């Protein structure tokens, strides 16, 4: 018998009761991609709490590749907005007819009102973790950083803070605008603040762009 199975843990693991699990389900449902923010500043210390939560994310080989960049300079925010406008115009040009009109009507960014803008990168060449688990699936570095984004998002929602993930950007251009190392890859550009109209329904679903599929239709068994 493995000796570890006979050794009680130093700290008993927590028991998550039915009430906690129900509240957690509500948290998942209310985690929304927010584009409409109040201009109120985020309470002092809250961003640090969210970053600490993100740092609890799992990572391949314990590489912890996430890198956080708080974008506070008006000039750099202006560069990000200019890149969004260019990329958004290109995306709009890819649609036609009614779909183009509907795309043009969508609220796709919270850059104007969100008090906090945070870029999350993955350091693809970090020596942390000594390359463990990355030989056959090197993309797990980026996946690890995505995990950090999700934990931050959930922690934010639990604190009443909204997060919007802005993906209509050129990752290389944003890296240049923020003067990050070449081996850092942009994973997420987040707008963070208090939501102006919190809802448990995705904004794109409310706008009639696309409804959420039933998860059962996405499951196969082998």
pLDDT bin (cut points 50, 70, 90) of residue 11 is: confident
| Predicted pLDDT at 6 | 59
CATH class of the region 33-207: alpha beta
Domain residue ranges of the chain, discontinuous segments joined by +: 33-207
User: What predicted TM-score, i.e. pTM, was given to this entire model?
Assistant: 0.92
Residue 24 pairs in a beta bridge with none
Task: Answer yes or no: are the C-beta atoms of 65 and 122 closer than 8 Å.
Answer: yes
Give Cβ neighbours of residue 43 (< 8 Å, ≥ 6 apart): none
**Measured distance CA(192)–CA(40) in Å, rounded:** 11
Q: pLDDT by residue (tens digit) across 29-63?
A: 999 999 999 999 999 999 999 999 999 999 999 99
**Measured distance CA(111)–CA(152) in Å, rounded:** 19
Task: Answer yes or no: are the C-beta atoms of 159 and 27 closer than 8 Å.
Answer: no
Structure tokens belonging to residue 53 = 């939560």
| Predicted pLDDT at 1 | 42
């Amino acid at each position: 018998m493995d000796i570890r199975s006979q050794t009680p843990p130093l700290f008993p693991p927590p028991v998550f009761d039915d009430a906690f699990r129900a509240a957690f389900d509500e948290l998942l449902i209310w985690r929304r991609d927010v584009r409409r923010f109040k201009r109120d500043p985020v309470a002092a210390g809250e961003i640090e709490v969210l970053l600490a939560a993100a740092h609890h994310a799992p990572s391949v080989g314990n590489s912890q590749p996430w890198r956080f960049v708080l974008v506070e300079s008006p000039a750099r925010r202006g560069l990000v907005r200019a890149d969004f406008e260019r990329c958004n115009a290109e995306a709009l040009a890819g649609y036609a007819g009614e779909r183009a009109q509907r795309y043009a009507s969508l609220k796709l960014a919270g850059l104007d009102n969100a008090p906090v803008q945070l870029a999350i990168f993955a350091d693809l060449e970090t020596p942390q973790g000594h390359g463990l688990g990355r030989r056959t699936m090197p993309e797990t570095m980026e996946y690890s950083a995505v995990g950090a984004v999700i934990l931050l998002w959930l922690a934010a929602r639990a604190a009443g803070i909204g997060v919007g993930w802005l993906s209509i950007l050129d990752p290389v251009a944003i890296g240049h605008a923020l003067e990050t190392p070449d081996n850092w890859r942009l994973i997420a550009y987040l707008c963070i603040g208090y939501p102006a109209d919190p809802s448990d329904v995705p904004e794109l679903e409310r706008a009639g762009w696309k409804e959420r599929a039933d998860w059962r239709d996405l499951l196969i068994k082998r």
